[in-house]
Amino acid sequence: MIISRHIITYIVLIANQMFQLFSNQRSVIIRSIVILIVFCCQSLTAMSEIRIKGRVTDENGTPIPYATISIPTRDRGTLTDSAGVFNAGFGSVLPTDTIRFSSIGYEPRATTAKDINSADGTYTIILKSKPYQLHEVSVIPPKTKKKTFGRTSMGGSFEVQIGSEHSEGCGPAVHCKVKKRAWITSVSMGWIQRKGTVEKMPFRLNIYNKKDGRWVNVTQRSVTFTYRKEDLNEEGRFVYKLPEPMMFSGDTMVEFEFLEPMKGRTIYIKSNIMAGHFIWHENNKWESIPTGTSFAVEAIVEK
C-alpha cells in the first residue's frame, strides 16, 4: 500500500509534538511508543516510487536482449526487451536499495536506486563479458537412456490457468532429478487453443540446482526459442529441439522463463489431480501444486 508523503509528514509532526508533551513526564512507555512512531514514519518517507529507463549493452555497445534487472531485497524484477531496452517501475524502494543487472555470459553489475533514478534521460548499463568456460556437454557416455520429465498429455478433467497478470521473467518449471548427469535434447509444451490465449512467446531455459536449501541458477549458456501457434504439431504441442544438448545433474529445476509480457492473453492447460506437479517460479519464489502441466523435458540420462 502506498502512503501519501504529505500524510506521513503530518504524522511525524504530530508525533514530535506528542514527544515534547510527554518528555517532561515519567511515562517511559508513552515516550517509547512515540519514538517508534517517528522512526517508522521517517523510514516510510525515505521510500519512493522509481521508474528507470535505459538499455543494457556489452563493452562494444551491442545490446544485450532479455537481461535480468532485479532488486534482491524487494523480490522484484524485470527484463530488458529484445533490443536491450528497459523502462520499468519498481514501486516503493529505498534510495540505498541495490538494483542488479545480469545476463548469462556476463559479469553482473549493481548500482543503487538513488544513482539510477537521478540519471539524466536514459541510463546505459555496460556488462563485461566473462572469460569463456567450456561446459560439460561434448562427451556423452556410451551407456545412457532416454527419459521424459514433466507431462506430455494434453488431456484432463479440469483446467489450470496461467493468468495475464504475470510479467516477463517468470515461468513454469519441470523438476528433473537424476543420480548422475543428463543432457536435455528437446523441450515441449502445449495448451488449449481458444480466443485470447498466447499465440507467440519467447522462452529461455534456465537450470537451477538446490544448494543449501534454496534453488540457485547455474545456467552456463543461454538457450532461447520462440513458441508460435503455427508451429504446433498434430497433437497440438510445440516441440523445440536444442541445437546442442544442455547438461544438468542432481536435483534440478528446468525453468521455461517468459521473456515478454503476456499482453492481456492467458494460457489454459487441461490436467488431473495428482498427475504430477505444477511448479511456478516468480521473483525468487517457488510454488507447487499437485496437478500436472503440459510442459516437458526430453533428456538423455547417464546410467
Same domain flag for 22 and 75: no
The CATH code of the domain that includes 75 is: 2.60.40.1120
Range of the domain at 75: 48-126
Q: Do the Cβ atoms of 77 and 93 come closer than 8 Å?
A: no
Q: How far is CA 207 from CA 5, 170, 175, 176, 253, in A?
A: 42, 13, 10, 10, 6
- Give percent above pLDDT 70 in the chain: 79
Kindly state the cell numbers that stand for 226. 520462440
Same domain flag for 104 and 248: no
Same domain flag for 55 and 180: no
- Spatial separation of the C-alpha atoms in residues 4 and 7, rounded to whole Å: 5
- Give percent above pLDDT 90 in the chain: 49
Same domain flag for 162 and 254: yes
- Residue-wise pLDDT tens digits, 132-144: 555 544 588 889 9
Which of 67, 98, 126 marks a domain boundary? 126
Same domain flag for 188 and 279: yes
Residue 131 inside a domain? The answer is no
Residue 281 inside a domain? The answer is yes
Kindly state the cell numbers that stand for 83. 533490443
Q: Provide φ and ψ at 72, rounded to 5°.
A: -55, -40
Kindly state the cell numbers that stand for 299. 533428456
Same domain flag for 96 and 159: no
Which of 126, 161, 188 marks a domain boundary? 126
Same domain flag for 210 and 77: no
Residue 237 inside a domain? The answer is yes
pLDDT, residue 9, reads 43
Same domain flag for 251 and 168: yes
Same domain flag for 108 and 27: no
The CATH code of the domain that includes 253 is: 2.60.120
Query: For the residues of 210-263, what is the DSSP string, one character each?
Result: EETTEEEE---S-EEEEEEGGG--TTS-EEEEEEEEEEEEEEEEEEEEE-S--T
CA 88 to chain centre: 14
Q: Do the Cβ atoms of 268 and 194 come closer than 8 Å?
A: yes
Residue 251 inside a domain? The answer is yes
CA atoms within 13 A on the CB side of 235: 11
Same domain flag for 287 and 229: yes
Q: Do the Cβ atoms of 140 and 212 come closer than 8 Å?
A: no
Of 250, 148, 269, whose CA–CA distance to 207 is shortest?
A: 250
Query: For the residues of 133-144, what is the DSSP string, one character each?
Result: ---TTS---SSE
Q: Provide φ and ψ at 82, rounded to 5°.
A: -65, -15
- Number of domains into which the chain is organized: 3
Residue 12 inside a domain? The answer is yes
Same domain flag for 30 and 62: no
pLDDT, residue 189, reads 95
Q: Do the Cβ atoms of 240 and 163 come closer than 8 Å?
A: no
Which of 126, 152, 168 marks a domain boundary? 126
For residue 201, the cross-strand partners are: 227
Residue 118 inside a domain? The answer is yes
Residue 11 inside a domain? The answer is yes
Residue 202 predicted with pLDDT over 50: yes
pLDDT, residue 49, reads 67
Of 42-46, 236-240, 280-284, the one with minimum mean pLDDT is 42-46
Residue 133 inside a domain? The answer is no
Same domain flag for 12 and 31: yes
- Residue-wise pLDDT tens digits, 190-201: 999 999 999 999
- Residue-wise pLDDT tens digits, 17-69: 554 555 555 455 555 554 555 445 444 445 556 778 889 999 999 999 999 99
